[in-house]
Structures are given as structure tokens and as C-alpha cells.
Amino acid sequence: MRLFVGLGNPGAKYARNRHNIGFMAVDEIARRHGFAPWRRRFQGETSEGTLGTERVILLKPTTYMNDSGRAVQEAAGFFKIAPGDVTVFHDELELPPGKVRVKIGGGIAGHNGLRSISAHIGNDYRRVRLGIGHPGVKELVHGHVLSDFAKADNDWVATLCEAVAEHAGLVAKGTDATFANRVHLAMQAKGFLTKDENGKE
């Protein structure tokens, strides 16, 4: 069994924030793969289903970002899911918009949601880092992540969430590099992340 956690803040006010792209990704996984209706528990909302042969629990903590770890710990404890079988989908400032990277363990790069999760279950979980771009200077980060995506961003955000959902079974299987590659190709097919914008990609 796998636990897929989407990070974000609850409520309509935050729904389109850059910080909420993790919520958007798991919502699309649930929709695309016909998961069960969302229900409230574990200080969050959960939906259950299967990706390939893997049973997957989706979790959206409703604790607010900075306390996400409480919900993750509760759900993981209930289902007896080890940190290595937990995957967290989150916004990543250090990647260009639409870029995806997967890593296990490592630093938290100042992300308060990850900080909370690491404090509650340790550091050995998988992170699917969803690039939102950096505003350029540190002082603008808070406003950047808690602002809505611009209208011009809607197409790449939708394409990214669709690609993540389509290939989510690869994450459930643990084939992270293949997943990241498939998502990248899907983005390029729609005209995003072209070689010119990204140099060596």
C-alpha cells in the first residue's frame, strides 16, 4: 500500500495558490483513475483507489501547510505505511515552472510542509517536486507561493497535473526516473519546457 500526499492549504481562498499545486495533482489523480469519493479523516481528506497493481491512499492534509506532518503521521500510522512508501507532491521554487523531479530523502529547501512531515515521520519519504519557478529574490518568496497562478499559467499547470496523474502508477511502482521522463515528454509535446527555454534539457 502507498500513501500519496498532496500539500496545500485548505479552503477556497488558497485553492489556486502556487503553494497548492500538490492538492491539484492528487485531485487529478483521484479524478483520472476513478478513486473513491473524498472523505474527512486523519486531519485531512482521503480518497482510496488503485494505480496498476498498487493500492493507493491519497491524502490532502487540512491542517494548513505548516502542520501537514500531523495528518501524514496519523494516516501512515493507521495504515501501517512505512516512510519509504509515502510520496509527497509539493511545489518547488528551485525548479522552473512545469519541471518535475523526484527524490527520496534529502533536504527540505525551506518548505514548511516538508519540514513538518520530516519532523513527524523522518526524512526517508519520496518527494515529487513540482516546479513553480522562483520570483528572483528571497523577500518575494512568501508572496509568490501564496499568490494564485496567473491566467497565463493555467495551461501548463493543467498539463502538468494531467501528466502527473496519467503516469502516477510509475511512482506507485517506484520507477521514479521513468515517471519524471514521461511527464517531461508530455510537457514538451504540449509546447512547454522546450530546449530553448531550459538550455540543456
Question: What does pTM read for this prediction?
Answer: 0.96
What's the number of domains the chain is made of? 1
Percent of the chain surpassing pLDDT 90: 93
Asked if the model's pLDDT at residue 198 lies above 60, the reply is no
Read off the pLDDT band of 195 (50, 70, 90): low
How many whole angstroms from its chain centre is CA 80? Answer: 21
Number of H helices, E strands in the chain: 8, 7
Residue 64 annotated as binding site: yes
> In this predicted structure, what is the pLDDT of residue 109?
82
> In this predicted structure, what is the pLDDT of residue 193?
84
How distant, in Å, are the alpha carbons of 66, 126, 147, 169 from that of 118?
11, 11, 25, 24
CB atoms within 10 A of CB 52: 11
> In this predicted structure, what is the pLDDT of residue 75?
98
What's the whole-number average pLDDT of the chain? 95
Enumerate the active-site residues.
Answer: 19
Kindly report, residue by residue over 64-109, the tens digit of the pLDDT. 999 999 999 999 999 999 999 999 999 999 999 999 999 999 888 8
Query: How many degrees, rounded to 5, is the angle at CA 188 between CA 135 and CA 108?
Result: 40
Residues 102 and 180: beta-carbon distance below 8 Å: yes
Average pLDDT over residues 161-183: 97
Gap between the Cα atoms of 178 and 191, Å rounded: 20
> In this predicted structure, what is the pLDDT of residue 107?
87
Average pLDDT over residues 108-132: 96
Average pLDDT over residues 110-116: 96
Residue 66 annotated as binding site: yes
Asked if the model's pLDDT at residue 128 lies above 80, the reply is yes
Domain range holding 176?
Answer: 2-198
Gap between the Cα atoms of 21 and 23, Å rounded: 5
Residue 112 annotated as binding site: yes
The three cell numbers locating residue 122 = 523522518
Read off the pLDDT band of 199 (50, 70, 90): very low
Residue 9 annotated as binding site: no
DSSP code of residue 199 = T
Give the domain CATH number at 60: 3.40.50.1470
Gap between the Cα atoms of 47 and 27, Å rounded: 9
